[in-house]
Structure 1
Amino acid sequence: MVALLASGTESYGYGEGHDRAPGPSAGTPSGGASGSTLTALATASRIKVTQTKGSSGTSAKPLAPVDPNWSPPACWYEPVSTPQQLKDAVDRLKKNPNGHLVPVTPTLSWGEQLMVDHYEKGTAKNGSGAGYENYNLGKDGMFWRGVINPNRRNDIASADCERTMFWQNARTLPDDKHAPTPDVLAAYAYNRIDVPQTQVELKPAVKSTVNAPTWVWLDEADFQEVKVRAELPEAGVWAETTAKPIALHVGPGTSDAETHPSSGDCVINDDGSIGAPYASGEAGKTPPCGITYLRATNGRPYRLKASITWQISWEGSGGSRGDLPDGTFETTQDMAVQEIQSVNR
């Protein structure tokens, strides 16, 4: 039996003196005082992620995209503050000018005077667009700011969300390519898909015989799809990403072997299983999924590889839907092969 286990940034200185200051390394997202997220790390996302279907727990592991050139978004914009929260943050600065500066981009923070001029008095600052009167108090909406994907914080593309914190009316998305549209949330959810531990049955389990096939199969009950939902409630946008298992690939770990089928790709059956369980009397038959070793091991076992391919699709708010690259996870198992001919039992 093979156990298949599926495979902060920076606080920022740009205050009154326009000095950049190193900040803490990325870690658990943290926020500012009084429930405000204005002083949160650049990687502190408000996206709510929920696994809605499939097993989880300590044995669950993330998938790796089959396409090595694909990656989730490096950054995006999110609502970060109500008008009152922004005013409260600036009021705290007025009382304590040496306190937390207010990040206005993932890498840029402003002190009291810049915040007052831009968000209270309506004076545009540093090419940041038109300012705001009295923090837009009384208006229906939120201020938005860029967020960096913690898995890509060292990627140059993470610098693409440096727009100064801006206003967005309620129940609308920014007209920006880095807006958190459903496809962006779906790709974000991809990184949060954890597939459960899966047991792949082998017969023989750990020792095979030259020219006698090893049967490989996976029961339907161990081959369930996984769903992960990502949503931004304040923006009214969501996406649910589904990982559906579609195939098992077996690799014998040596060129002196034949796989069944020859590609090593064992497709899913109509009932959701893969391959077929070995039954007594079938030792001489070719399994629908398996391996026949042609040479015995000599003190050093072969490393049998087994990987499951998961097909990734998504659907989201507004009737949107699409596909993402397949995911996979691979594990290995030692297989000893003997010369003596014997019948599987």
Structure 2
Amino acid sequence: MTCAYTPWAVDGQQNGGLEFVDPASNPNDQPKGKGAYYLVECSDGYRDVIWIAKKHDPGITPEQLARRAYARIPIRSPKVLTAPPRGKEGLVGLPHWFYLAKGEWAAKSKRMRAGLVWAEATATPQRMTVNPGDGQTITCDGPGTRYDPTTPADQQRSTCSYRYSRPSSSNRVTVSVTWGGTWRGSGGTSGTLPPITRSVTFPVRVVEAQALVTKG
């Protein structure tokens, strides 16, 4: 959605459907400080006369404001936990768990206003991608299942894990989280914003499981 702003005469004027509107008669839109009245016409059919303070740019659209807000949402590299824990050896053939720390998988929003034009941008985590370092890639729809060291391993199931097929002391794992963007703003406007991806890379060492040998 986009909106156009046209200067509006204080004593009103004819404009196809807004019959000689006197914006000063609107008790909910009284002018404050220096500024001017503008006719707002949006691509979704919204039309109104509003007061915009002089210090603000009357030409800004809700979408432009939303993009500014989106850029200010603090989205950092993900905090990733593993089982076995980071720094401990994984075993060939057994699942290596990947999951995000508590609170990492949550939407974040930022709201901005310029005069009577406003917009709110929201970034929502959509998927987690794991490159285990051996040329493969797995995609997880959520933050992964948290491993509980107090519960037997055979009673737990991971929603984001990988089984290494051979030992390696040089695997570099990269975990990426992709966020989708949406926005809504004044005049009933809304839309989508480009996805944002943040990543973190760390080493994982994988060894062969030692066979248990017993004497008959």
Q: What TM-score, normalized by structure 2, do the two folds share?
A: 0.63
The DSSP-based 3-state class of the residue aligned with 2:63 is: helix
2:36 pairs with 135, 141, 146, which one?
141
Q: CA deviation at 1:318?
A: 1.2
Alignment correspondent of 1:121:
none
Q: Does 1:312 align with 2:192?
A: no
How much is the aligned-residue C-alpha RMSD, in angstroms? 3.2
Asked if the contact 2:78–2:198 (Cα under 8 Å) also holds between the matched residues in 1, the reply is no
1:179 pairs with 59, 84, 88, which one?
59
5+ unaligned residues in a row in structure 2: which ranges? 1-33, 38-49, 212-216
Higher helix content, 1 or 2: 1
Asked if the contact 1:212–1:283 (Cα under 8 Å) also holds between the matched residues in 2, the reply is no
Q: Does 1:264 align with 2:138?
A: yes
1:288-339 alpha-carbon deviations (Å, 9 max, x no partner): 21111111114xx211111111111001111111111221101101111111
Alignment correspondent of 2:94:
212
Q: CA deviation at 1:282?
A: 2.9
Asked if the contact 1:225–1:244 (Cα under 8 Å) also holds between the matched residues in 2, the reply is yes
Asked if the contact 1:310–1:328 (Cα under 8 Å) also holds between the matched residues in 2, the reply is yes
Q: Does 1:292 align with 2:170?
A: no
5+ unaligned residues in a row in structure 1: which ranges? 1-138, 143-168, 173-177, 258-262, 269-273
The one-letter amino acid of 1:312's match is G
The one-letter amino acid of 1:287's match is S
Alignment correspondent of 1:13:
none
The one-letter amino acid of 1:225's match is A
Measured in 2, the distance between the counterparts of 1:294 and 1:309 equals 27
Q: What TM-score, normalized by structure 1, do the two folds share?
A: 0.41
1:244 pairs with 124, 129, 137, which one?
124
Q: Does 1:226 align with 2:108?
A: yes
- Percent of pairs with identical residues: 31
Higher strand content, 1 or 2: 2
> In the superposition, relative to structure 1, how do residues 140 and 191 fare at CA in structure 2: closer, same or farther (>3 Å)?
closer
Measured in 2, the distance between the counterparts of 1:283 and 1:195 equals 35
Asked if the contact 2:75–2:198 (Cα under 8 Å) also holds between the matched residues in 1, the reply is no
Give the number of equivalent residue pairs.
160
1:333 pairs with 199, 202, 209, which one?
202
> In the superposition, relative to structure 1, how do residues 170 and 221 fare at CA in structure 2: closer, same or farther (>3 Å)?
closer
The one-letter amino acid of 1:224's match is A
Q: CA deviation at 1:171?
A: 3.5
Q: CA deviation at 1:283?
A: 5.3
